Amino acid sequence: MAKRPLSEQLADLSVRVRNAEDAVTAAEKEAHDKVIAHRDQARADATAAIEKINRDMKWFPKAPREVGSR
């Protein structure tokens, strides 16, 4: 196997590094998108739970306050 010129080796290395950078960038974007999706789902779930509690609270009559209690 003949040794290739350094300039060719560096060009190949440059391509490999660029591909690796692209893969890392894609992985970072995918991870970020998943975090955002989970955050949005958690907010929606929390909002739905609060709304359900508020609806359920309307069914209970308010207890009269006792004199002298806080």
Once rounded to an integer, what is the mean pLDDT over residues 36-62?
A: 92
CB neighbours (10 Å) of residue 15? 10
- pTM, two decimal places: 0.62
Comparing 65 with 57, the larger pLDDT belongs to 57
Give the pLDDT score at 2: 77
Q: Token pair 């508020």 is at which residue?
A: 54
**What is the rounded distance in angstroms from the CA atom of residue 18 to the CA atom of residue 37?**
29
- Rounded Cα–Cα distance for residues 44 and 27 (Å): 26
Residue 1 has pLDDT above 70, yes or no: no
Here the tokens at position 26 are: 């894609």
Element at 53 (helix H, strand E): helix 6-59
